[in-house]
Amino acid sequence: MADMSSGGLAPTQDERTMATLAHALQLIGAWIAPLIIFLVKRQSRFVSFHALQALLLQICYMILVFTATGGLFVLMFSTLALQVGDKNAPPTAFFAFFPLIWLVFVGCGIFNLVIAIVYAIKAGQGEWAEYPLLGRLARKMLKMGPGGAPLSAQA
């Protein structure tokens, strides 16, 4: 049953399905799937809230992956530049930091997978579940309080 404890309206089955898809499809559609659902179902506060959270997560994920990739390229090229004089020496900095960068990629991927599955299940159950940190930002961007209540209705 829908979570009515926070004063929000109970979402319809269609809204719960679309919110679930916004979370689940981010695994294969990255930021595009939540964006499309967000734009198509803009009139539904429940779907917009869940789709915006998934979209914000994917934006943060992309920033982290691009930063790690940039760090990997900087590391590769700086290692090559430092190795110019000694052609037979192994690039120790690259071998030392490559596993750390790889762990960032794998860790972020696993985190993304777990968050998408957990919150897809919660959305399917009709909960106004918030991502840590990003849920509050999504509510602020959509100008809504907990449970989807409009901010002007809060005392």
The pTM score is: 0.76
Q: Is residue 26 part of a domain?
A: yes
Please give the residue range of the domain that contains residue 80: 13-140
Average pLDDT, the chain: 82
In a domain, 6, yes or no: no
Can you give the chain as a three-state secondary structure string? CCCCCCCCCCCCHHHHHHHHHHHHCHHHHCCHHHHHHHHHCCCCHHHHHHHHHHHHHHHHHHHHHHHHHHHHHHHHHHHHHHCCCCCCCCCHHHHHHHHHHHHHHHHHHHHHHHHHHHHHHHHHCCCCCCCCCHHHHHHHHHCECHHHCEHHHCC
pLDDT in tens, 76-92: 777 777 766 666 666 66
> Which pLDDT does position 84 carry in this prediction?
67
What pLDDT is recorded for position 86? Answer: 66
Q: How many domains does the chain have?
A: 1
* 154 within a domain of the structure (yes/no): no
pLDDT > 60? residue 155 = no
Q: What pLDDT does 120 receive?
A: 93
